[in-house]
Structure 1
Amino acid sequence: MSEPPMTTVGAGYSAERVVRPRRALRAGITHAVAVGVAVVLGILLPAIDGGSRVAGDRVVAVLNVLGVGVLSVTALIFSLMFLVVQWAAGNFSHRLALFRTDPLVWRVFAFVIGVLVYSVTAVLAIGSRDTVSVAVPIAALVMAAVAFVLVRRLQLVALRSIQLSHVLNELRDRGLHVLDVYCPPGDAAGGRDSPPGAVPLPGSVTSSVRWRGTSVLVEQFNLVPLVAAARRGGAAVALRVKVGDILYDGDAVADVHHGTVPESEVLTAVVAGAERTFHQDPALAFRLLSDIGLRALSSAINDPATAVQALDAVEDLLRHAAAGPIGQETRAIADESGTVRVILPVPGWDGLLRVGLDDILVIAPGMPMVLARCRKLLTGVLSVAPDHLRPPLEERLAWTEQELTARPPFMRDDAG
């Protein structure tokens, strides 16, 4: 799916990434295609009459060995995968699902199933034939080689997912990407140095939509159909909840301005999920980095160096946000004509600071190395922040400096 434009929903474009339903569909299609191709090859290749031929019983033995061998190795690697997922959840964060949601997992599984289905189908197709085409064992060997390459790649990805530096870099990169895509640029509010505010809405509120039913986590918003519905009704929909929020029965989901939009269209746009995803959630990377830092600072682990590494990634995200994407706490989604149809709430500057820094900052006085790193972070972000973003940074920096004054002089530098 192509990356969404910043503000416009047009023909063939998308201002969202609703991948959970599509990912499940792609996984199912991938498995079905692999099985279908394997069945076709398993039937057609043994039916070839010309060319070099080999004894049928030998080919059957090769197919049996390759099928069982590939399946055994794959089962071993997938067992490792389950251990990796459990280890990452226990040592980093239960919300960390980088490896578990990697498309490589289902693609490798689909290919291995295809190899197994091909082996079984070819054995049945050979039956009692004395000789078969050499293409049958060659195809099996090529499939097995590709399967082992994919399994090895899956193993390397799994092992990288338990390395702290790799996880922090992956979180930082995903956070930078979603900030660029889903947080409005500073000049959207009339200039990079203009204060954050709300996008003006046309007309008064004509109706409000409330959630009905059990509580759900807002994983994403299906924005394209919502923009189309608002355009048909000549309305603008101001969403009242952000991605990552919990909706309870009776909570306000959105306000419809000027025109009319059926309540069902608005509620259908809410994609509920079991856990937060990066696709429309700029604050998730900050949340996960903060989780890793807090877990490292717990009395059970007591690993301030890990917290400092997490703060390195947080500073990168905050510098990037301060220098560009943060301008407003709402983002306007327009239709093809440029008319604003949906107002999407996004985390503001204060929200990102609270999620990514404040929890660690409160605990930092007990860890001089972490406290000094927090001061360095705030000083660095202040050096690139525009005027309207500086007050909350200066407030936190003043508190940090006050905490450091109670420390011996040799603990006030950035040596840690």
Structure 2
Amino acid sequence: MFHGRTRAVRRDLSQLVCALAGLGLGLPAPLITGGPQVNAGRVVSLLFTLGFGVISLVSIIYSMLFLVVQFSASTFTPRLGLFRDEPIVWRTFAFTVGVFVFTITAGLTIGTRGTVSVLVPCAAMILALVALALMRTLQMRAFSSIQLAHSLTAIVTRAHRLFDALYVRPYDPGRAPAAPAPQTPAPSAAVVTVRWSGPSAVLQQIDARSLIRTAQEHDCTLAFRAAPGTTLWQGRPLVDVTGGPMPDTALRDTMVTGVERTFDQDPELPLRLLADIALRALSPAVNDPATAVESMDRMEDLLGRLAGRDLEVGRFTDGTGRTRLTVPLPDWDRYVRTALDELLFAAAGSPMALRRLRTLLARLAEQSPPGRRAVLEERLHWADGAGNAAYPLVWAASEGR
């Protein structure tokens, strides 16, 4: 789960691979002698027209789609950037770059030849049609992404993948914590706090394997004080190093930072986004409680999944069982507070939203293990009190069903 920057590497690598493939196919294309021969001058004109036409079309489509999608997504929450990270987005762009490189390279390689095989323009036409098909798929995906149901489903789908990869063990209140392996006393037990020295950024990913390996090399233990999704500013405590010294550059090389939170290693982000959508829907400017209820439906799904999982997964050991790295991941109370606390106060002005929130809390309290019910029952009691005081008729009817 806590590995390196795989998504960004794949995105950049795909564009490079497609460009190299276009170059590799374009250079030998004029040497093909099979099939009928056609006038080389017309083929060169066709290749240049296809190449510049495809790259111009995709540039216009991308500009318009991102403008429309981002504007529409901001009506839910300004932090919603799901479409930009869709694989179809960068795969289509990478393939289009490959088509452009192929057509231009083949056109330049033909040079002053008199004739060329008809297979060359046919291949260029087929590649252009495939690029158009990918753009069509991209447009359909963009149109879907501006719909509320699609956005909520995309958030929940990514959350499911993240939770399943991060929280593997079921919750067992009787399970005793694993006893640490015997450790050799470090030469120095001093704790050195490493502070963030770069510009303000969001911690997006931590490469746990590299950190464990580096900690072994320097015979130290690393305790992060910031989890993925945390905003870092200059001077903020980042990690406590116990034992041997740890160079700042070694830590920086194992982290990925950016300008916003991502789904890669931030399990709190899906609940934050769902809460943001519900809060905006309940604001006086929007006043759309039905949207808030839809968001609560997905929120109940995610909290229900977390209720039965072991959330204590922030400790990483080396091959000998010695703890080398700890990361402060959210606990059950933190997840509940992030999802529901602000929503409780915002929903107090809407009987529909408050009633759905009460149902959510009642179901979760019933389904959750006993050790995790207290935080839910406190909020359920508050929701009942607010509902009885503000909407006695509606509340009595809902309790009777």
TM-score by length of 2: 0.89
What is the aligned partner in structure 2 of residue 232 from structure 1? Answer: 217
Distance (whole Å) between structure 1 residues aligned to residue 68 and residue 176 of structure 2: 42
- State yes or no: 1:360 paired with 2:346: no
Task: Kindly indicate whether the alpha-carbon contact (under 8 Å) linking 1:231 and 1:341 is maintained by their aligned counterparts in 2.
Answer: yes
What is the aligned partner in structure 2 of residue 376 from structure 1? Answer: 359
What is the aligned partner in structure 1 of residue 370 from structure 2? Answer: 387
The Cα shift of 1:316 comes to 0.4
The 5 A counterparts of 1:254-333 are 254-257=239-242, 259-264=243-248, 265-326=250-311, 328=312, 331-333=314-316
- 1:193 equivalent among 145, 168, 173: 173
The Cα shift of 1:349 comes to 1.1
The 5 A counterparts of 1:156-171 are 156-171=140-155
Unaligned runs of 5+ in 2: none
Task: Kindly indicate whether the alpha-carbon contact (under 8 Å) linking 1:234 and 1:260 is maintained by their aligned counterparts in 2.
Answer: yes
- State yes or no: 1:149 paired with 2:133: yes
Q: Which amino acid aligns with 2:265?
A: Q
What is the aligned partner in structure 2 of residue 9 from structure 1? Answer: none
Cα 1:115–1:216 change in 2 (3 A) is closer
How many residue pairs are counted as aligned between the two chains? Answer: 393
Q: Which amino acid aligns with 2:353?
A: V
Q: Which amino acid aligns with 1:271?
A: V
Distance (whole Å) between structure 2 residues aligned to residue 184 and residue 341 of structure 1: 20
The 5 A counterparts of 1:16-415 are 16-19=2-5, 22-183=6-167, 185-187=169-171, 192-194=172-174, 206-213=190-197, 214-257=199-242, 259-264=243-248, 265-326=250-311, 328=312, 331-406=314-389, 407-413=391-397
Cα 1:114–1:186 change in 2 (3 A) is closer
Q: Which amino acid aligns with 1:193?
A: P
Cα 1:126–1:230 change in 2 (3 A) is closer
Distance (whole Å) between structure 2 residues aligned to residue 210 and residue 39 of structure 1: 46
Cα 1:58–1:30 change in 2 (3 A) is same
- Cα deviation, 1:154-181, whole Å, max 9, x if unaligned, reads 1122112111111111111222222233
- Cα deviation, 1:339-396, whole Å, max 9, x if unaligned, reads 3221111101111111111111111110100000001100111122111111110000
Distance (whole Å) between structure 2 residues aligned to residue 199 and residue 170 of structure 1: 39
Task: Kindly indicate whether the alpha-carbon contact (under 8 Å) linking 2:74 and 2:80 is maintained by their aligned counterparts in 1.
Answer: no
Task: Kindly indicate whether the alpha-carbon contact (under 8 Å) linking 1:183 and 1:331 is maintained by their aligned counterparts in 2.
Answer: no
The Cα shift of 1:183 comes to 4.3
Task: Kindly indicate whether the alpha-carbon contact (under 8 Å) linking 2:99 and 2:128 is maintained by their aligned counterparts in 1.
Answer: yes
The Cα shift of 1:51 comes to 3.2
Cα 1:334–1:200 change in 2 (3 A) is closer
Cα 1:144–1:212 change in 2 (3 A) is closer
Distance (whole Å) between structure 2 residues aligned to residue 55 and residue 75 of structure 1: 31
- Cα deviation, 1:305-339, whole Å, max 9, x if unaligned, reads 1110111111001100001233x3x6211223333
Q: Which amino acid aligns with 2:363?
A: G
Distance (whole Å) between structure 1 residues aligned to residue 247 and residue 47 of structure 2: 57
The Cα shift of 1:144 comes to 0.9
Q: Secondary structure at the match of 1:220?
A: strand
Distance (whole Å) between structure 2 residues aligned to residue 208 and residue 412 of structure 1: 59
Task: Kindly indicate whether the alpha-carbon contact (under 8 Å) linking 2:194 and 2:241 is maintained by their aligned counterparts in 1.
Answer: no
Cα 1:32–1:268 change in 2 (3 A) is closer
Q: Secondary structure at the match of 1:292?
A: helix
Distance (whole Å) between structure 2 residues aligned to residue 235 and residue 331 of structure 1: 17
Distance (whole Å) between structure 1 residues aligned to residue 234 and residue 174 of structure 2: 37
Cα 1:413–1:255 change in 2 (3 A) is farther
Distance (whole Å) between structure 1 residues aligned to residue 350 and residue 179 of structure 2: 42
The Cα shift of 1:86 comes to 2.3
Task: Kindly indicate whether the alpha-carbon contact (under 8 Å) linking 1:217 and 1:247 is maintained by their aligned counterparts in 2.
Answer: yes
Unaligned runs of 5+ in 1: 5-15
The Cα shift of 1:413 comes to 4.9
Distance (whole Å) between structure 2 residues aligned to residue 272 and residue 75 of structure 1: 28
Distance (whole Å) between structure 2 residues aligned to residue 115 and residue 93 of structure 1: 36
Q: Which amino acid aligns with 2:131?
A: A
Distance (whole Å) between structure 1 residues aligned to residue 15 and residue 323 of structure 2: 41
Q: Which amino acid aligns with 1:283?
A: E
Q: Which amino acid aligns with 1:281?
A: D
User: What is the percentage of aligned positions where both structures have the same residue?
Assistant: 39
Distance (whole Å) between structure 2 residues aligned to residue 199 and residue 209 of structure 1: 26
Cα 1:117–1:235 change in 2 (3 A) is closer
CA RMSD of aligned residues (A): 2.7
Distance (whole Å) between structure 2 residues aligned to residue 389 and residue 226 of structure 1: 32
